[in-house]
Amino acid sequence: MKDEMDILWDNIVNYAKSNSFNIYYSMDIDIVISFEWDKRMGNVKEFLKGARNNKINSVVLSIKRFEDEDIDCNYFNCKKFSNKIAEIDLMYIMNDVGYKYHEEAKWFTEVNTLTIDDLLGDYDEKKILPLTKEINEKSVDSLSDDMIKYINDEFSNIPDNIDDAIKSFWLYKGINLDFSIENDIKNKMDMVNKKAKKIIDNEKQNDEKNKLYKLIPEIISGLIKRNKYDVNMEDIKNYLAENGIKIKYKSNLNLMYNQLIKDLKDLKIKNDKY
Residue 202's nearest CA partner among 155, 251, 259 is 251
Q: Which residue has the higher pLDDT, 225 or 105?
A: 105
Helix axes 140-154, 183-225, angle to 10 degrees: 50
Cβ neighbours, 10 Å, residue 220: 17
- CA angle at residue 159 from 153 to 161, to 5 degrees? 130
Tens digit of each residue's pLDDT (9 = 90 or more) over 92-113: 999 888 999 999 988 888 776 6
Amino acid at 88: I
pTM for this model (two decimals)? 0.46
Print burial letters for 115-144: b (CB count within 10 Å at least 16), e (below 16): eeeeeeeeeeeebbbbeeeebeebebeebb
CB of 92 closer than 8 Å to CB of 58: yes
Look at residue 117 and tell me whether its pLDDT is greater than 70. Answer: no
Q: Are the C-beta atoms of residues 101 and 37 closer than 8 Å to each other?
A: yes
Q: What share of the chain is helix, strand, coil (3-state, %, to 5)?
A: 55, 15, 30
- Give pLDDT tens digits for 227-273: 777 788 888 888 888 888 888 888 988 998 899 888 888 877 676 65
| pLDDT above 60 (res 20) | yes
